[in-house]
Chain A
Amino acid sequence: SQQGEEDPQALSIQEGENATMNCSYKTSINNLQWYRQNSGRGLVHLILIRSNEREKHSGRLRVTLDTSKKSSSLLITASRAADTASYFCATGHLGGATNKLIFGTGTLLAVQP
């Protein structure tokens, strides 16, 4: 399967702490994205990092990408209860005229107030 894997599968932290999630994938990518999914809702795009980038920031989010290890990490700093959600990495692949996203297995983050 092409599907990426995320670890940990579940993470529980206290408000104010940092949360780190990791994603590994198997094939060459064009870009890697992180999405958030609140319970019972659709996915929301958080950040995109291209294959030629190594690090990207957006607010309290920091994403790194190591294409040699085929891995990425998402760091959420100073977490809040509202950050409680599932987080998915998705690798973007170019193939002919199509762009395809392959999603990872997700990390369920619980931030305790």
Chain B
Amino acid sequence: DTAVSQTPKYLVTQMGNDKSIKCEQNLGHDTMYWYKQDSKKFLKIMFSYNNKELIINETVPNRFSPKSPDKAHLNLHINSLELGDSAVYFCASSQDTGRNEQFFGPGTRLTVL
């Protein structure tokens, strides 16, 4: 019954590795987002997809590549992980781009050693 789910919940990895975080929503929403929350709890948008099409791409290093195989899924792949990538990553969805209320997943805590 989880509306927005993410896997894994925790991810610990070494610098230089490549990792992916998966997100799925069962709300029938058209728009999905990835946010990064740093250690000071600043929450910043990274990407947004609407119906599998990229519509927001903030100034995120190109080591981060989102992929939306269908409108219910938005995955985040990160290449060559760096220490500064350690954060909590949240996936969210909204009904469409015109509806601002967003539904968040539980987050993935990424620790890069």
A97 to chain B, nearest CB (A): 6
Q: Which residue of B lies closest to A103 (CB)?
A: B43
Asked whether, in the complex, the Cβ of A99 is within 8 Å of the Cβ of B43, the reply is no
**A43–B100 CB distance below 8 A:** no
A43 vs B35: C-alpha distance when bound (angstroms): 11
Shortest CB distance B5–A (Å): 10
Closest A residue to B100 by beta carbon equals A92
Over the window 94-113 of chain A, the binary record of Cβ atoms lying under 8 Å from chain B Cβ atoms (1 yes, 0 no) is: 00011111110110000000
> What's the count of A-B pairs with C-beta under 8 Å?
60
Interface size band for B: 20 to 34
Identify the interface centre among B43, B48, B106: most chain A CB within 10 Å of its CB: B43
Flag whether A24 is at the interface (Cβ < 8 A). Answer: no
Are the C-beta atoms of B43 and A45 separated by less than 8 Å?
Answer: no
- A1-54: which have CB < 8 Å to B? 3, 30-31, 33, 35, 37, 40-45, 48
Report yes or no: A105 in contact with B97, Cβ–Cβ below 8 A: no
B90: chain A residues within 8 A (beta carbon): 42-43
**Whole-angstrom CA separation of A33 from B48 in the bound complex:** 18
A-B contact pairs, 11 of them (CB 8 A): A3-B42, A31-B100, A42-B92, A98-B48, A98-B56, A99-B94, A100-B45, A101-B100, A101-B102, A103-B43, A105-B41
Interface of A with B (CB < 8 Å)? Answer: 3, 30-31, 33, 35, 37, 40-45, 48, 86, 88, 92, 97-103, 105-106
